[in-house]
């Protein structure tokens, strides 16, 4: 199949396919007329790349999966190098989750502090002259 058909079937652009070819992820076969020529294996490679990219893998991290498919394995993640990328990605995700939990705890603490301050202001507003001019107390938002 030609590059336009492959791009359409893979849900990408011809520009992306040329880029992948330049990066060595997609084979650069040519037919007798010099046109790029692709087959179902190339479509499978592209689907593997796209799935991994959708999961947050950078383009270079997809290389072991592509090489595994090219080596004739039915799945791109059955090779040791692919498994190693999975392990690294899981460690990276675990670290990000830890960072997000820490940020969430900080934001939660800030919210609790702000709500206590709001409640204090509300109590002071109940006392004549207790609320500073221009300070409005709103409800929970």
Alpha-carbon span 61 to 85, nearest angstrom:
7
Taking each helix axis from N to C end, the angle separating 3-10 and 14-22, rounded to the nearest 10 degrees, works out to 100
What residues are paired with 30 via a beta bridge? 36
The answer to whether residue 132 scores a pLDDT higher than 70 is no
User: Which residues neighbour 85 within 8 Å (Cβ) at sequence distance 6 or greater?
Assistant: 57, 61, 64, 65
φ, ψ of residue 30 to 5 degrees: the values are: -125, 145
The answer to whether residue 46 scores a pLDDT higher than 80 is yes
Cα 91 to chain centroid distance, Å, stands at 15
E strands present in 6-67? none
Q: For 61-102, how does the pLDDT look when each residue is reduced to its tens digit (9 = 90+)?
A: 999 999 999 999 999 999 999 999 999 999 999 999 999 999
Q: For 15-27, how does the pLDDT look when each residue is reduced to its tens digit (9 = 90+)?
A: 999 999 999 999 9
Alpha-carbon span 86 to 124, nearest angstrom:
56
Q: Model's pTM, two decimal places?
A: 0.74
The domains of the chain, with CATH numbers, are 3-126 (1.10.1660.10)
């Amino acid at each position: 199949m030609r590059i336009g058909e492959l791009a359409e079937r893979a849900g990408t652009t011809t520009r992306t396919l040329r880029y992948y070819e330049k990066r060595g992820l997609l084979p650069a076969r040519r037919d007798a007329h010099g046109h790029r020529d692709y087959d179902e294996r190339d479509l499978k490679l592209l689907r593997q790349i796209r799935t991994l990219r959708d999961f947050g893998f950078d383009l270079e991290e997809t290389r072991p999966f592509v090489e595994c498919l090219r080596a004739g394995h039915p799945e791109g993640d059955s090779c040791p190098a692919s498994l190693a990328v999975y392990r690294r990605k899981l460690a990276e995700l675990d670290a990000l989750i830890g960072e997000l939990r820490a940020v969430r705890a900080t934001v939660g603490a800030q919210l609790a502090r702000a709500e206590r301050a709001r409640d204090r202001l509300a109590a002071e507003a109940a006392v004549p002259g207790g609320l500073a001019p221009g300070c409005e107390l709103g409800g929970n938002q």
